[in-house]
Structure 1
Amino acid sequence: MSCWIVTDGSAGMEIQGIGLAEALGLEFEVKRIVTKAPWRWLPPQLWINPLSLLDKTGDVLLPPWPDVLITCGRQSIPASLAIKKANGAKTFTIHIQTPNSDASKFDLVIVPEHDKLRGDNVLVCEGALGRITPEKLHEAGKKFQETVSHLPSPRVAVLIGGSNRCYDMTEDVMKDLAAKLEALHDEVKCSFLVTTSRRTGEENEHILKSALNNVPHQLWTGEGENPYFGYLALADALIVTSDSVNMVCEACALGKPVHIFELPGGNAKFNYFHKRMRDKGYTRPFKGRLEQWSYPPLLETQKIADEVRVILQSRQK
């Protein structure tokens, strides 16, 4: 079956759609749309002819329509509703995350457990969907093994996000994290495999680089081939900033110790998510030291994909 993944291009949304499509074994196209003002601020039901309101700086959505349409994020909802109206039952629509519209308008909605939406067409996953599989980790580990072989063990992957609507990654916060990493190295002689995000910011990256200057590490800030999967595969433990559900869930797909570095901020959903992850034994707070524990890897994407596959097959009969 043909498949489109439609988002506004946000990495966290796109990754969830791609992860689901890959787990379903679908050939897919990624469509990154740009919505125009004032429509982007309005509820989906108020959009008039949504497909004509997409800015041409992004992808334009034109027939032939896909067999499966996966959307994530509120900006993609009007497009999903319009394609469903145009193609009816020929396009199976899946929306990831709670929509700001009537959930019954989609064939299927997939929400994280910390969202409250429930219903006959709603599947619930633990955290966020992602692209990690044991096979991908194995291949990435082999690929990047030589590049980190000079770094002493234990190797600690440090996944750093940044400021968003709920959390603040200030320079003081980065200085605190950097100081804790230096102290951790001094205590256990570990090395670090560090990645930052677009939200981290240049000044925060500069603080991090300066702090790690005399500490064995690799730091990826976006240049060259992305070693993210390789770092996950080759790490003995992980430290993850609290601002990203995606990063936390990807880290927990390994079954390795995941330490959460709390940023200032949060909200009810984030607080519930982090408490649940702690209570279920996936994560612990990062208090400046490494702890050891284990748990079954969190591989929700394949579980959800298996449920979706059954639903798709039942519709084809």
Structure 2
Amino acid sequence: MAGDTRPLTIWAVSDGRAGIEAQVEGLARAVARQRPAEVVLKRIAWRFGLGRLPTSLNPGAPTLLAKGEIAPPWPDIWIAAGRATLPLSRRQRRRSGGRSFVVQVQDPRMALDAFDLVIPPIHDELTGPNVFPILGSPNRLAPDKLSSELARFADRLAPLPRPCIALIVGGKSKAHDLSEAHARNLARQIAEAVRAAGGALLVSFTRRTPAAAQAAMRAEFENLPGWIWDGTGDNPYFAFLAAADQILVTEDSTNLATDAAASGKPLYVLPMSGHSPKLARFHADLAARGVSRPFGGVFETWTYPPLAETERAAAELLRRFDAAR
């Protein structure tokens, strides 16, 4: 509304899974960096097994939620991701009387006219007048995030020998897996390269990393300088990206590669068992832009502009939001 100078209200809605919430929170906070706004995280879950039904069969009534309150006053901007949010997102414009500008991150795999804006990854190959594809996925890497996180963990990271190599390990998904044997082989290659470079290794596993794969990799890395985060205490994930001279990520996750690419550091992609055509297109795009390379056992240095797709998506969101008022 013209002349309205109050801060925007933004709801970032997800089922609370780390990778999904990171996308909606990252986009919401990018909008808030470009315009004053209050960001509220909403984590939802459905009663009676409704979350397992096709979206068209879920009535989407907030009273049927087992977790999360969805009630007025409605936000100016609704940003959601994940299947669990779709029954709510597709009704939010009507429910709010048109107050909420409804944004869905990822391909909703349904009619797009329920949304004001859909922000899928380019590799989904989704098109439409209200579609704004980006490379990868939105993330929480604000311009000052890396420096502030590095400062938090400086006592542990600053004394380490260079180069520092960050290794971010995914795991089992619909398309990929990380067996104990494959994890051990990868770890041996990485350990040899770190020793040859005379540097240190910073390792972060995800919730999807199988226990056997973790154990195999830890065994190979135990005598190297560095830090293998054990999942306790404050998470040094962003500090690892900030401290790194080179970053390795497994190929199973868009989020991991997007975060690494936002740092501007040389990025190596590690192969896993299985194959995803969509992720293959994503990694091919990163490689074509000079962001990533396959790991060949030797650490190299190259440069590229840090990936800033979240900021670009936030600017487009606000442009369309203003046009709709």
TM bin (shorter chain): over 0.9
Deviates further, 2-11 or 258-267: 2-11
Match of 2:45 in 1: 34
Structure 2: gaps spanning 5 or more residues:
1-7
Q: Distance in 2 between matches of 1:210 and 1:116?
A: 41
Match of residue 315, structure 2, among 290, 300, 306: 306
Match of 1:16 in 2: 23
Deviates further, 278-287 or 78-87: 78-87
Query: Which residue type is aligned with residue 8 of structure 1?
Result: D
Number of positions where the alignment pairs a residue of Structure 1 with one of Structure 2: 314
Matches within 5 A, 1:24-103: 24-25=31-32, 26-36=37-47, 38-54=49-65, 56=66, 58-103=67-112
Deviates further, 256-265 or 177-186: 177-186
Displacement of 1:35: 2.5
Q: 1:49 to 1:244 in 2, by over 3 A?
A: closer
User: What per-residue deviation string (whole Å, max 9, x for no partner) do you get for residues 15-60 of structure 1?
Assistant: 1111111111131221111134553333322222432332x2x213
Displacement of 1:8: 1.3
Match of 1:134 in 2: 143
Match of 1:233 in 2: 242
1:254 maps to 2:286:
no
1:177 maps to 2:186:
yes
Q: Distance in 1 between matches of 2:168 and 2:237?
A: 9
Q: Distance in 2 between matches of 1:50 and 1:82?
A: 9
Q: Distance in 2 between matches of 1:41 and 1:49?
A: 13
Matches within 5 A, 1:164-243: 164-243=173-252
Q: Distance in 1 between matches of 2:39 and 2:264?
A: 29
Q: Percent identity at matched positions?
A: 35
1:153 maps to 2:162:
yes
Q: 1:71 to 1:49 in 2, by over 3 A?
A: closer
Structure 1: gaps spanning 5 or more residues:
none
Displacement of 1:201: 2.8
1:292 maps to 2:296:
no
Q: Distance in 2 between matches of 1:191 and 1:49?
A: 50
CA contact (8 A) 2:58 2:87 kept: yes
Q: 1:49 to 1:186 in 2, by over 3 A?
A: closer
Query: Which residue type is aligned with residue 108 of structure 2?
Result: P
Query: Which residue type is aligned with residue 60 of structure 1?
Result: E
Q: Distance in 1 between matches of 2:235 and 2:208?
A: 16
SS in 2 for 1:194: strand
CA contact (8 A) 1:51 1:82 kept: no
Give me the TM-score of the superposition, normalised by structure 2. Answer: 0.92
Query: Which residue type is aligned with residue 175 of structure 1?
Result: R
Q: Distance in 1 between matches of 2:213 and 2:57?
A: 41
Match of 1:117 in 2: 126
SS in 2 for 1:134: coil
CA contact (8 A) 1:66 1:91 kept: yes
User: What per-residue deviation string (whole Å, max 9, x for no partner) do you get for residues 157-210 of structure 1?
Assistant: 111111111100111121112111221123111211111111113332222222
Q: Distance in 2 between matches of 1:47 and 1:182?
A: 49
1:264 maps to 2:281:
no
Q: Distance in 2 between matches of 1:268 and 1:283?
A: 18
Match of 1:4 in 2: 11
Displacement of 1:10: 1.7
CA contact (8 A) 1:128 1:245 kept: yes
Alpha-carbon RMSD: 1.5
Displacement of 1:287: 2.0
Q: Distance in 2 between matches of 1:6 and 1:145?
A: 33
